[in-house]
Structure formats: C-alpha cells, structure tokens
Amino acid sequence: MAEEVARVRPAELERLTVAEAADRYVELVRARTSTGALSSSTAEVYARDVATLVALAGERAVLDDLTGEDVDAILLAFARKPDGRRAGGADGGGQSASSQARFRRSISALFKHATLAGWVQVNPMTASTVTAKQRGGLRPERRALTREQAQGLIGAARALQEVPEEGKRRDQRMELRDAVIVLLLATVGPRVSELVRANVEDFFTNDGVRYWRIFGKGGRTRDVPLPDDVAAVLQAYLARGRAAVQDKALLLSWRGRRLARGDVQGVIDRVLRRVDPERRRSVTPHGLRHTTATHLLADAVDMDAVRRVLGHSDLSTLGRYRDDLPGELEVAMRAHPLLRGKPDA
C-alpha cells in the first residue's frame, strides 16, 4: 500500500506526532477506495488498527522516536487487549492469532509509508523482535520484576565484585562489566541501545555526584544521576575491569570491541544464574526498564522525574512502562496521605 505513494524521501525529516501521522495515513488509505484500489471495508480495518496504534503509543509521541522496543511493547499490549468477538474475550482472553497478525500488517504498512514519506529515519518494524508466538505466550507474564526478584538480581550483580579469579587472565574477566550492565539496567532503566552506545566520556562527576549523559531518541540527551552504589561499581570497573584499549566504548567484549545489543541478554542470564531460585525470574533488558519505572512510581517518586530518567517526552508514555504490583493498592490505602497524623479538633 505505502510503496505507491512517495518514492523519494524528503531532504528534511518531518517530525510528526503519532496522531498526525495516523490522520494523514488514514486519509490516504480512504482515498484509495475511490479508485477501486482498496475496498471500503479493508480501508476501515486499516483505519481501526491505526487508531489502536495511536492509543497504545500515545497520540503526542513523535513517530520518529518509536524504536523496535516500542513496537514490541505495542504488539504485546495489543495481544493482551480483550477481544469481545471471542468467547471469554471480554474477560481478558486477548486477541486471536489472526487479529494479531492483521494488526502487525496494518502498522507495518503505516511505517513503510512513513519511511518513504520522510516521517521516520529508520523503520522501527525492522528492529521488532516479538514473534507471533511470543505475542500470545507473553500475555499472562509480568514484564517488571517484583521487588524481591529485582533485589535478588541486584544483589547477585553486586556480589560479582567479590568473585574469585578462577584462573582467568585479567583481560578475559568480565565480572565487573557484567555487574555494571545489570546495575545500570535495573536502577536507571535505559534502552538497551542507549546502554551499548554509551562511551566512557559520557560519565562525569558534578558537585560530588556521578552522572550519566544518555544520548536518547530524537537526538535528545538527558543527564541522570547514578545511585552511589552503582557509581562505586562503575568506578571499580573503569579502574580495573575495563580493557585498556583505544575504543571509547564503555562496555567492551573480552576481545576489546564494543558490546553488541544482542550480547546484553546473555549477560543478564549469566547473572541470573547466581540468584536464589526462589527469587529468580528471567527478564529482558526491556523488562528491566519496566522494572525501573514500576518501582520508582510505586515508591511515589515524582512522575516527571521518572519521565526524565527514562527519557520520555510525554508523561502519558509512562503507562506503557508501569506494571501493577501485588498488594500495591492495599499498601497505598494504609498509608493514605490524608489520614496521617492527628485529626483536627
């Protein structure tokens, strides 16, 4: 569908919001019905799917800022949506496999057109990793770790500083690097692309506080202060754990090359094996981003501060990174702010 519209990308990128791009695209799709190139019923299916994309992505989000990870989150969110046409769908049965495949085709067509029209620099669908099987299979599972699971993972990462030498050469020892990776993901919640792009020079100290200057989507940067414990492990890694090579990358393989984003999951899995089985649950780098957002927000941290830590331009986007915690509502009501202290006479 999209390939028949614009075949030459404009010299300058047009940074449209998701809602603006959707309106333009749907208008184009409906116009094709007048030529007989598309049936009106098919056009309305596309329009409905694009409207769902806007609702899940956030209408004020910039289309070019969406990454493959964002697309994965959108596909998973759609898979979880109740399908009222199916038996039990109103009770959270989720979308059928055919509906999920249709939705993916619809948004793929939009992004293909957006790439040709110059609304996005890179088609994020090419970086999407969620398969049809995962879209169905991941519905019941939480993406964020519970507090106990997250603390177990963080504890295992901290303990890597004390791991014995095990006969390895210094340039083959990756324990401190692995600790830095897990601690940054679990406490700061960067996108995995932001993590592997990080350079040593991006970390600086100001007034006694260690900061990470993160280069995020859309050319935006944010300076995020690191927790003291994380800053200490980072310093130990820079002092004695990172290979002395000219490459400016923060995270290096044992061969001295910049770590690839695909290597990060292996690091997490390696650290997870050190966690007590009762507190262990598999998690992806994006799941650790959800973990950061979930627990910062659950601890009543200012929403705008969390938005700035995660690098979002809009508060509404936080909803996609927020998982419910067991017993959270009960705790919130027990500590109700209007019932603290003595009542007025």
Active-site residues: which are they? 191, 217, 286, 289, 312, 321
Write down how long the chain is: 345
Q: What does the alpha-carbon distance between residue 68 and residue 179 come to, in Å, rounded to a whole number?
A: 26
Provide the phi-psi class of 243: left if phi over 0, else alpha when psi is between -120 and 50, else beta: beta
* d(C-alpha 204, C-alpha 212), whole Å: 7
| 7: its two tokens | 């075949």
Do residues 233 and 180 make contact, with C-beta atoms less than 8 angstroms apart? yes
Given a contact cutoff of 8 angstroms between Cβ atoms, the answer to whether 149 and 279 are in contact is yes
C-alpha span between 286 and 167 (Å, rounded):
34
Four-residue CA torsion sign, 264, 265, 266, 271 = positive
d(CA 338, CA 195): 41
Contact 145, 283 (CB under 8 A): yes
Helical axes 97-117 vs 68-80, angle rounded to 10°:
150
Phi and psi, residue 199, nearest 5°: -110, 160
Tell me phi and psi for residue 322, to 5 degrees. -120, 115
Largest CA distance in the chain: 76
Nearest C-alpha neighbor of 160 from the set 24, 13, 272: 272
